[in-house]
């Protein structure tokens, strides 16, 4: 419960619309204990290729034969199956499931047990860092489900580590898609950028004393890699190949780390209870840390991404709500654990009756919400327009239309399509920053109006749409909208 209140304070550490600090509503009024799902015990056996992959680099570390940092960790601490679209199933694993083994530093996966066992990608490393930062868990090569990004420190101790950035806060400096947060080529420059818990980077020239300089520029996402990491990524050493000791690459970096998603940043992290200067950089599959005060063999280490991901996915603290959603909202919330985990508890405002105007577009939807009782159900404005884009994003906007304005822009849509009118049309034409018109296209129907209902949650909004008997669920995090879903309303009564 203590952990949950800390997260709630971080998410909602501001004054609520009723003048009450939002986090106070989450204090332990224990009318309900909802326990989130945990990994079930597995009867699976570690696949021989997984064991061979681990032995290649880590057998010598486990035997104390070599002094170097772990690639995986001492042993797998969890072996189970997880849902994955398209996995064919074999050897007791059902179709649509894949075998996964969690290690401190990563997760091994076998997506196709019938594949070529001589291919190094028969066993893969999960894109865990992308999931931890974005909050979007992969359930197949294409399908993802958005959860709350991980409020876990990227480096250092898991608690009492107030200065280190978390995966969630790293989103503002991470390239989750091509062209986002990319950096210019800085070959030869010294790394002096500092990043704190709030992920606000700034230069601190005092870190120049560590002489970490840029040695490689990766143009995939557009990020620079310092010499200490680049040397580690290209290091040679003793490895086990087919049971034989050979000299080869210790880190096959495309396979084991993926491409860099961030720049390298210095931070002050608490490690073993002691504050230390640490440089951290996150890649698609792993995060690196460089601790100048460590012994030479352990200055560069892999972060505990596998451990962090497992705790984020399976060991979330119980969700304690002072009140529960009811009727249709309650059914969606209680019957869908992923919704419950992402949207959290209802706010202290109960469900509100509304009038809802809906309109479908070529590439999304628009809703106008007009409250019939109170304006404060956490949609943002007394009259709110919700815009849903087909790319999975959404926005809520203030409705600025009034009857003194023109009802439309006198545009001529293609045959069978429509120009939106009045409130929706005003937002469609004039929200140029969001490019609403360009992203939605033309309306595919005339607007429709019906009674509805809305309720705010600490992680988003639910909206009942009377026109289609559906429930819209929109998620937000740190005040920004993230993703949306629509569920059928199955409540009868």
User: In the beta sheet, which residues pair with residue 280?
Assistant: 265, 289
List pLDDT tens digits, range 285-342. 999 999 999 999 999 999 999 999 999 999 877 777 888 899 999 999 988 888 888 8
Tell me the percentage of the chain whose pLDDT exceeds 90: 63
Task: Look up residue 420 and give its two tokens.
Answer: 């939106």
Exposure b/e, 117-133, CB count within 10 A at least 16 = b: eeeeebbbbbbbbbbbb
Question: What is the pLDDT, as a whole number, of residue 117?
Answer: 93
CB atoms within 10 A of CB 258: 21
User: In the beta sheet, which residues pair with residue 359?
Assistant: 366
Task: Look up residue 32 and give its two tokens.
Answer: 């309900």
Tell me the percentage of the chain whose pLDDT exceeds 70: 88
Which range, 9-18, 43-52, 53-62, is most confident?
Answer: 53-62
Q: What does the angle CA 230 – CA 232 – CA 234 come to, to the nearest 5 degrees?
A: 70
Distance from chain centroid for Cα 112: 25
Cα separation of 262 and 182, whole Å?
8
Give the residue from 375, 332, 323 showing the smallest Cα distance to 475: 332
- Please identify which residue in the block is written with the tokens 């004393």: 209
Task: Look up residue 47 and give its two tokens.
Answer: 């696949």
Residues contacting residue 235 through CB under 8 Å, at least 6 positions apart: 249, 250, 251
Question: What is the pLDDT, as a whole number, of residue 160?
Answer: 86
> Integer distance in angstroms from the first to the last C-alpha of the chain?
34
Q: Per-residue pLDDT for 432 more than 90? A: no
Q: What is the mean pLDDT of the chain?
A: 86
Report yes or no: 152 and 312 within 8 Å, Cβ to Cβ: yes
Question: What is the pLDDT, as a whole number, of residue 148?
Answer: 78
Question: What is the pLDDT, as a whole number, of residue 192?
Answer: 97
Cα separation of 45 and 51, whole Å?
10
List pLDDT tens digits, range 97-155. 999 999 999 999 999 999 999 998 999 998 999 999 988 899 998 888 877 788 899 99
Question: What is the pLDDT, as a whole number, of residue 488?
Answer: 94
- Please identify which residue in the block is written with the tokens 């409020």: 151
Report yes or no: 336 and 488 within 8 Å, Cβ to Cβ: no
Could you tell me if residue 374 is left (phi over 0), alpha (psi between -120 and 50 degrees) or otherwise beta? beta
Q: What does the angle CA 51 – CA 55 – CA 58 come to, to the nearest 5 degrees?
A: 130
């Amino acid at each position: 419960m203590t952990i949950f209140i800390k997260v709630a304070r971080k998410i909602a550490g501001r004054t609520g619309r009723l003048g009450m600090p939002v986090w106070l509503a989450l204090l332990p009024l224990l009318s309900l204990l909802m326990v989130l799902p945990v990994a079930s015990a597995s009867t699976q056996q570690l696949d021989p290729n997984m064991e061979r992959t681990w032995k290649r680099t880590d057998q010598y570390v486990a035997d104390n034969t070599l002094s170097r940092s772990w690639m995986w960790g001492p042993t797998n601490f969890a072996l189970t199956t997880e849902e994955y679209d398209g996995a064919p199933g074999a050897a007791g694993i059902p179709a649509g499931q894949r075998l996964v083994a969690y290690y401190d530093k990563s997760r091994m996966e076998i997506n196709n047990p019938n594949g070529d066992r001589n291919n190094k990608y028969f066993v893969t490393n999960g894109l865990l860092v992308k999931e931890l930062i974005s909050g979007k868990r992969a359930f197949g090569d294409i399908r993802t489900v958005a959860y709350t990004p991980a409020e876990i420190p990227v480096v250092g101790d898991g608690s009492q580590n107030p200065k280190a950035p978390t995966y969630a806060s790293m989103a503002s400096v991470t390239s989750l898609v091509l062209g986002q947060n990319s950096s210019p080529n800085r070959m030869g420059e010294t790394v002096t950028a500092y990043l704190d818990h709030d992920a606000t980077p700034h230069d601190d020239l005092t870190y120049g004393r560590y002489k970490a300089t840029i040695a490689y520029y990766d143009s995939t996402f557009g990020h620079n890699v310092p010499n200490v990491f680049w040397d580690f990524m290209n290091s040679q050493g003793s490895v086990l190949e087919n049971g034989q000791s050979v000299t080869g690459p210790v880190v096959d970096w495309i396979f084991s780390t993926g491409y860099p998603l961030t720049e390298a940043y210095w931070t002050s992290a608490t490690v073993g209870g002691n504050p230390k200067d640490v440089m951290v950089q996150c890649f698609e599959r792993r995060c690196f840390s460089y601790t100048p005060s460590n012994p030479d063999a352990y200055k560069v280490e892999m972060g505990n991404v596998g451990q962090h991901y497992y705790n984020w996915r399976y060991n979330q603290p119980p969700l304690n709500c002072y009140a529960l959603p009811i009727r249709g909202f309650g059914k969606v919330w209680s019957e869908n654990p992923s919704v419950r985990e992402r949207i959290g508890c209802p706010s202290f405002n109960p469900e509100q009756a509304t009038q809802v105007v809906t309109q479908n577009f070529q590439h999304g939807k628009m809703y106008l919400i007009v409250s019939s009782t109170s304006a404060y159900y956490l949609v943002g404005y007394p009259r709110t327009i919700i815009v849903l884009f087909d790319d999975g994003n959404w926005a809520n906007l203030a409705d600025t239309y009034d009857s003194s304005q023109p009802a439309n822009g006198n545009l001529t849509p293609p045959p069978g399509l429509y120009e939106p009118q009045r409130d929706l049309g005003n937002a469609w034409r004039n929200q140029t920053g969001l490019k609403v018109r360009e992203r939605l296209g033309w309306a595919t129907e005339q607007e429709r109006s019906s009674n509805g209902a809305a309720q705010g949650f600490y992680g988003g909004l639910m909206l009942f749409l009377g026109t289609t008997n559906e429930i819209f669920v929109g998620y937000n995090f740190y005040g920004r909208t993230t993703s949306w879903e629509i569920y059928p309303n199955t409540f009868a009564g």
